[in-house]
Amino acid sequence: MDRVIFNEDHHAFRASAKEYCDRSLVPRMEQFLEEKTIDRAAWLEAGKQGFLGLDVPEEYGGSSVGDYRFNQVFAEEVSKVSAALSSCFGIHYDCAAPYFVDLGTEEQKQRWLPKFCSGEYVAAIGMTEPSGGSDLAALKTTAKKADGGWVLNGSKTFITNGDMADLVIVAARTTPEKGAKGITLFVVEEGMEGFARGRKLDKVGQTESGTSELFFEDLFVADDNVLGELDRGFIHMMERLAQERIGAAVSNIAHATQILDETIEYVKQRKAFGQSVGSFQYNKFLIAELVTKVEVTQAYVDNGVVAHDEDRLTAVDAAKTKWWSAHVQNEVLDACVQLHGGYGYMNEYRVARAWRDARVTKIWAGSNEIMKELIGRDLGL
- At residue 212, φ and ψ (nearest 5 deg) are -140, 165
Per DSSP, what are the bridge partners of residue 143? 152
Amino acid identity of residue 186, one-letter, is F
> Is 244 an annotated catalytic residue?
yes
Q: Which residues pair with 227 in a beta bridge?
A: 185
- Distance, in Å, from the CA atom of 339 to the CA atom of 85, rounded to the nearest integer, reads 25
Pairing mode of beta strands 123-126, 167-173 = parallel
Distance from C-alpha of 353 to C-alpha of 205, rounded to nearest angstrom? 7
Exposure string (b/e) for 43-78, b if CB count within 10 Å is 16 or more? Answer: beebbebbbbbbbbeeebbbbebebbbbbbbbbbbb
| Measured distance CA(320)–CA(275) in Å, rounded | 41
Amino acid in the structure at residue 213: E
Please, what is the end-to-end C-alpha distance for the chain in angstroms?
Answer: 36
| Whole-number Å distance between alpha carbons of 351 and 233 | 39
Catalytic residue among 76, 129, 213, 244: 244
Of 77, 80, 49, 76, which is closest to residue 62 (Cα–Cα)? 49
Q: What are phi and psi of 172, to 5 degrees?
A: -140, 155
CB 188: neighbour CB atoms within 10 A?
Answer: 24
> Which residues are the active-site residues?
244
